[in-house]
Structure 1
């Protein structure tokens, strides 16, 4: 029997986990995440530690944001972390942004596509697109860059603004980073459309699931 109106449906539970990082020798001070009221956390999101998530940011299902080793993390406004994105960082390794130190810094209007890994120390500037299963680790990505699917950016490199990393490329030297060309118009348009769609999700999903949730994350 199909699940149609009038038939009995399985029960849906809206739950995620947001909590303190466990005290350890490398990160002894428990910190609770700060999530803006207009951000949206999907079911099965996992966030621990000193994490800031700003206004109208969408966090998809099965996203893991663990500030339990490297810390703190910052995620700006109007960004999106799609299904299966992972954020983590190395202990005592930082990037500097506006005279503050971060393990992972993600700016405004950033898209992290399905399955991508952003590992600190790293900085991701405004309006950056990180493609499916791409890896950013120990790198500084300046504004407007486009990192294609399955690409790797690492080894302390800095990408100049609006750089295009081709699919599957391994950018691990400054020489490789400096040779990158600007993003093609078609990829810029694709990134803008991804942003447009995902910026609608926080408000839409908040209405869909409702705002009356317990602190445990369950719908009430």
Structure 2
């Protein structure tokens, strides 16, 4: 497989040795990745016209797309779980959130810490989701506050992926 050269971007991704980035993932441009982050297979993380920030202990699962807009960066907090094939576009996600598989978060949206965006939900442009909210549907609407059991499950998933990426980093 020939990897495309993205060295023409003004800024390059910044991360340390605690970060796992799968070989098939494309991470380019102005991307700031904190420690213990994992970026899984077939992800596209494109900080070409604005920046992307991924907080400590977060995981970006297989097939996810993170992108930006001229007026909005993409900011992901700490210990965030972004499920398979999600699209996270030019928005802000608070700490300890779970973004469900195949969900979409659009430009300017702000997801409060501790929230869960259900699988397949679409959070509209400029939506403000309060902390600890469960969002479901198209368009995504707050259905209720998350339970303590759900909060603990999100923490469990984030920690699980921190441990899992260690298996990939230490395969030799």
Tell me the TM-score normalized by structure 1.
0.71
Q: Is residue 73 of structure 2 the alignment partner of residue 110 of structure 1?
A: no
Residues 60 and 16 (structure 1), Cα distance of their counterparts in 2 relative to 1, 3 Å cut: farther
Aligned counterpart for 1:154 among listed residues 108, 124, 135: 124
**What's the RMSD between the two structures over aligned residues?**
2.1
| Alignment map for 1:193-204 (pairs within 5 Å) | 193-204=156-167
Q: Distance in 1 between matches of 2:7 and 2:121?
A: 32
Deviation at 1:17, TM superposition (A): 6.7
| Alignment map for 1:8-23 (pairs within 5 Å) | 19-20=6-7, 22=9
| Alignment map for 1:58-73 (pairs within 5 Å) | 58-69=38-49, 71-73=50-52
Tell me the TM-score normalized by structure 2.
0.90
Is there any run of 5+ residues in structure 1 with no aligned partner, and where? 1-12, 23-29, 95-102, 211-220
| Alignment map for 1:38-53 (pairs within 5 Å) | 38-53=18-33
Is there any run of 5+ residues in structure 2 with no aligned partner, and where? none
Q: What is residue 75 of structure 1 aligned with on the other side?
A: 54
Residues 38 and 149 (structure 1), Cα distance of their counterparts in 2 relative to 1, 3 Å cut: same
Aligned counterpart for 1:86 among listed residues 44, 49, 65: 65
Query: CA offsets per residue over residues 113-163 of structure 1, 9 Å max, x none?
Result: 00000001x110100100000001120011000001000112211111100
Q: Is residue 151 of structure 2 the alignment partner of residue 192 of structure 1?
A: no
Q: Distance in 1 between matches of 2:87 and 2:144?
A: 23
Judge which range, 31-40 or 49-58, deviates more: 31-40
SS at match of 2:24: coil
SS at match of 1:205: helix
Q: Distance in 2 between matches of 1:153 and 1:60?
A: 23
Query: CA offsets per residue over residues 172-219 of structure 1, 9 Å max, x none?
Result: xxxx55xx41114453343233212101023221101x4xxxxxxxxx
Between the two proteins, the alignment pairs up a number of residues equal to 171
Q: Distance in 1 between matches of 2:4 and 2:151?
A: 34
Residues 66 and 205 (structure 1), Cα distance of their counterparts in 2 relative to 1, 3 Å cut: same
